[in-house]
């Protein structure tokens, strides 16, 4: 397994070695659910390379609204918590690929033995909160077009490919909007030669032009990641 985790790469080599001694490689399949709300979180997952996951909050109406995406810059489950706590949100795999997993029990023991690892993960937790705060503000203020462009740019930067495996229905659900709104936005992007849709996916044709249509929320989050963790937030390949 040659793909890497930018978050783990921010650790000292001896800390990485201590974690990897208890880690196992795994394959995350597109569409798979890692955690459901209320599930006991027993494993922590570190996406590698272009593997992309997301947290969704489930509403009473049945809609699942995305809060943040997690790729090679982060991890899912048990990073800062102590013990096997229940999951609050659903964790989905958006773009399948390789990952590393470690049991929460082993992770807690290593964090106690190596404060430098616990410190890094606490700083990452601050970055996760920054993403959540920015997402709340973005959903409240920015247009659907700006948000859709932001999401697609963030996805291609993490995946490392302009092919995003997602239907219009899934994009609408993630953004908490009706399918007709998502369809109209994508039609405008297609008319301007920014994207091309295919069965089960969206191809980004002009990443830079699409970025120009997006809000600045990705840049705000990336700047905070850089200040707190260094250059681990995915940028354009």
The H or E element spanning position 123 is helix 115-141
Mean pLDDT of the chain: 89
The H or E element spanning position 168 is helix 168-175
- Residue range 154-170: mean pLDDT, rounded: 86
Q: Is the pTM of this model over 0.85?
A: yes
Q: Which CATH number fits domain 6-122: 2.60.120.10, 3.10.180.10, 3.40.50.300, 1.10.3210.10?
A: 2.60.120.10
Residue 213: its pLDDT value, please?
95
- Residue range 84-105: mean pLDDT, rounded: 90
Residue 178: its pLDDT value, please?
83
What radius of gyration do the chain's Cα atoms show? Answer: 18
Chain segment 37-85, per-residue pLDDT in tens: 999 899 999 999 999 999 988 888 777 778 889 999 999 987 766 666 7
Residue 67: its pLDDT value, please?
84
Q: Could you give the CA distance from residue 198 to residue 195 in angstroms, rounded to a whole number? A: 10
Q: Could you give the CA distance from residue 229 to residue 59 in angstroms, rounded to a whole number? A: 32
The dotted CATH code for 143-214 is 1.10.10.10
In the chain, which segments carry CATH 1.10.10.10? 143-214
Residue 25: its pLDDT value, please?
96
Q: How far is CA 145 from CA 14, 138, 161, 165, in A?
A: 45, 12, 21, 19
């Amino acid at each position: 397994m040659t793909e890497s985790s930018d978050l783990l790469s921010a650790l000292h080599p001896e800390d990485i070695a201590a974690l990897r001694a208890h880690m196992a490689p795994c394959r995350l399949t597109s569409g798979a659910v890692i955690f459901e709300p209320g599930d006991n979180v027993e494993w922590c997952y570190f996406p590698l390379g272009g593997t992309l996951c997301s947290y969704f909050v489930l509403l009473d109406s049945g809609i699942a609204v995305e809060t943040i995406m997690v790729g090679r810059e982060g991890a899912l489950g048990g990073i800062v918590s102590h013990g096997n706590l229940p999951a609050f949100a659903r964790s989905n795999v958006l773009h399948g690929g390789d990952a590393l997993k470690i049991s929460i029990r082993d992770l807690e023991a290593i964090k106690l033995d190596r404060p430098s690892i616990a410190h890094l993960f606490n700083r990452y937790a601050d970055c996760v909160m920054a993403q959540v705060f920015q997402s709340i503000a973005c959903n409240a203020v920015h247009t659907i077009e700006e948000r859709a462009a932001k999401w697609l740019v963030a996805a291609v930067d993490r995946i490392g490919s302009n092919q995003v495996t997602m239907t219009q229905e899934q994009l609408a659900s993630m953004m908490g909007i009706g399918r007709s709104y998502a369809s109209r936005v994508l039609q405008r992007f297609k008319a301007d030669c920014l994207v091309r849709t295919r069965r089960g996916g969206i191809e980004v044709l002009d990443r830079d032009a699409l970025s120009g249509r997006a809000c600045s929320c990705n840049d705000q989050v990336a700047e905070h990641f850089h200040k707190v963790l260094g250059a681990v937030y995915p940028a354009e390949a």
